[in-house]
Amino acid sequence: MEKNFTSATFPARRRRDIWELSTHHHCSIVGTCLTIGEARAIGKRVGARCPNPDDLDSTIHSILVRESSTKNTVSVLLNKTLNKKYESSIRIFKRCKSAEEIKNLWRESFDFGNIPGPYWAALSHPDIDYEVTIKIYSDVHMLSHLVGSSNRADIARLSELELELADALEKNGSLISRNQKKLKQLRDEINCNQEKICNLERENSNLKVRLFSDPPSQSVEEINKEFSQGVLLSGENYPALLSEPVQSESKIVRHNLRLVDEIEKANGEKRELRSKFEAAQDELDGVQAELESANSFIQTFISKNNSDVPKCNLYGKCILYIGGREGNICRMCDLVNKMNGRLIHHDGGKEDSLTKLKGAISSADAVIFPVDCVSHSSALEAKKLCKKMVKPYMPIRSSSLSSLVTGLAEFKFDDNNRNDKEKESNKP
């Protein structure tokens, strides 16, 4: 018999946990509010097993639905996951003070296409009644039938995107770990170089003081007492130097020349260390920029609704990428291949001659280049040739993968337009 949620059943203003809801709603909650990747993650944590890999998702779904009827390890983990994932929706629905307000807010979210978060927030709301619960459940139930009959391709694509997202999150975690280690190593190296530079600067200053200081105006006895019985900078006895003025002057000159050589050597080491320091700083800035770009791409992918994620299909088009970093080209080729396209690369004149740029643009369907990693001459030449050949071109913000994805999404390639052009070219 369906549970009738009265105000006496639960403490006032306390949201319901999943095991406190009707068992008739558990299947729709698990199926609607959890992605395949999230369900697999929970199943892995609770040790779900299935002999046939093709039945793994349905097995995990059945386990989660069955265990949701009582409070246990699985249901507590599931409840915690839903509350954390839909915290913003729960906060919005918390402002509702009656079942009618919950119903109206649900209808607004449903019409807008925002289903999972409001569905969980509404069913677990402390002020919902039986009639509104049935209404909301019926909306989701009928929607599942419509989606199952008309959008199977979208569901398959959604599952693929969820798996790609899980894989991207895992790779991002490993990338963050590696970059943090590299950042620490670079910071340690920079600190070491800075300490060496400071030591060399102090040594250089001392050498200059010793070289350009005025000769002492003390007596021989005072000098002998101050410098341990007459041992001066040259290591000779000062009275002996006084008795041999010519030899003393020659030794002082040689000593000063040695000091000059030591100063030049210290300055050379200082310049070398400063160059290493600047190179390490540049490398550190590059790693930080790459890490920020990866985090921005993943956060953008997570924060956007799946319906808003651009499904970029290049329809077999050839994209010319000018400039960029050599280390990213292979990953960019793989990314464009997944988008049903082909990527060719011109380094912007580093090794590839600019005279080859015209042939590369003529063989491409569109041109894209990062403004932060391409020469001005290459960018200007590419723009001029694209306008002359009537080729679309797109300058992007940086040489990162996320900027490439954003730029490719701006190209409006249409499969129907391509078929129309093919038909026109076949006309006599």
5 in a structural domain: no
9 in a structural domain: no
pLDDT, the chain, mean: 78
Q: Which residue has the higher pLDDT, 220 or 181?
A: 181
| Helical axes 116-123 vs 26-33, angle rounded to 10° | 150
156 in a structural domain: no
Tokens (6 digits) for 175:
């990338």
210 in a structural domain: yes
Q: Which residues pair with 322 in a beta bridge?
A: 346
Q: Provide the terminal-to-terminal Cα distance of the chain, rounded to the nearest Å.
A: 73
**Domain range holding 51?**
18-150
Instruction: Note whether 114 and 199 are same-domain residues.
Output: no
Instruction: Note whether 111 and 51 are same-domain residues.
Output: yes
Instruction: Note whether 295 and 319 are same-domain residues.
Output: no
Instruction: Note whether 230 and 319 are same-domain residues.
Output: no
C-alpha closest to that of 83 among 152, 29, 25: 29
Distance of CA 255 to the CA centre of its chain: 58
39 in a structural domain: yes
Instruction: Note whether 27 and 137 are same-domain residues.
Output: yes
403 in a structural domain: yes
What gap in Å lies between CA 164 and CA 62, rounded to an integer? 24
Tokens (6 digits) for 317:
């088009």
Helices and strands of the chain, counted as H and E runs: 17, 4
- Minimum mean pLDDT among 139-143, 309-313, 401-405: which range? 309-313
C-alpha closest to that of 176 among 322, 295, 94, 91: 295
- Whole-number pLDDT of residue 225: 53
Tokens (6 digits) for 251:
């030794």
Instruction: Note whether 186 and 288 are same-domain residues.
Output: yes
Burial class (CB in 10 A: 0-12, 13-18, 19+), 21: buried
| Confidence label for 411 from pLDDT (cuts 50, 70 and 90) | confident
Q: Which residues pair with 320 in a beta bridge?
A: 344, 367
Q: Are 345 and 371 in contact (CB under 8 A)?
A: no
70 in a structural domain: yes
* Whether the predicted pLDDT of 123 surpasses 70: yes
Specify the number of domains making up the chain: 3
In sequence order, which ranges of 311-364 are alpha helices (DSSP H)?
A: 329-338, 357-362
The helix/strand/coil state of 137 is helix
pLDDT in tens, 63-110: 999 999 999 999 999 999 999 999 999 999 999 999 999 999 999 988
- Phi/psi of residue 75, each to 5°? -65, -35
- At which of 287, 303, 319 does a domain end? 303
Burial letters for 385-404: b for 16+ Cβ neighbours within 10 Å, e otherwise?
A: bbeeeebebbebebbbbbbb
Q: Which residue has the higher pLDDT, 307 or 138?
A: 138
3-state secondary structure 169-208: HHHHHHHHHHHHHHHHHHHHHHHHHHHHHHHHHHHHHHHH
The β-bridge relationship of strands 366-370 and 393-396 is: parallel
pLDDT in tens, 315-371: 889 999 998 888 788 888 988 888 889 999 988 777 767 788 888 899 999 999 998
pLDDT in tens, 232-257: 444 445 455 445 555 556 667 777 77
Instruction: Note whether 334 and 365 are same-domain residues.
Output: yes
Instruction: Note whether 314 and 299 are same-domain residues.
Output: no
- Minimum mean pLDDT among 195-209, 327-341, 407-421: which range? 407-421
What gap in Å lies between CA 275 and CA 365, rounded to an integer? 43
- At which of 256, 274, 303 does a domain end? 303
Instruction: Note whether 296 and 335 are same-domain residues.
Output: no
Instruction: Note whether 209 and 128 are same-domain residues.
Output: no
- At which of 282, 303, 324 does a domain end? 303
Q: Are 401 and 297 in contact (CB under 8 A)?
A: yes
Instruction: Note whether 362 and 404 are same-domain residues.
Output: yes
Angle at 281 between CA 276 and CA 284, to 5 degrees: 125
251 in a structural domain: yes
Q: Are 386 and 426 in contact (CB under 8 A)?
A: no
CATH value at residue 324: 3.40.50.10700
Instruction: Note whether 138 and 204 are same-domain residues.
Output: no
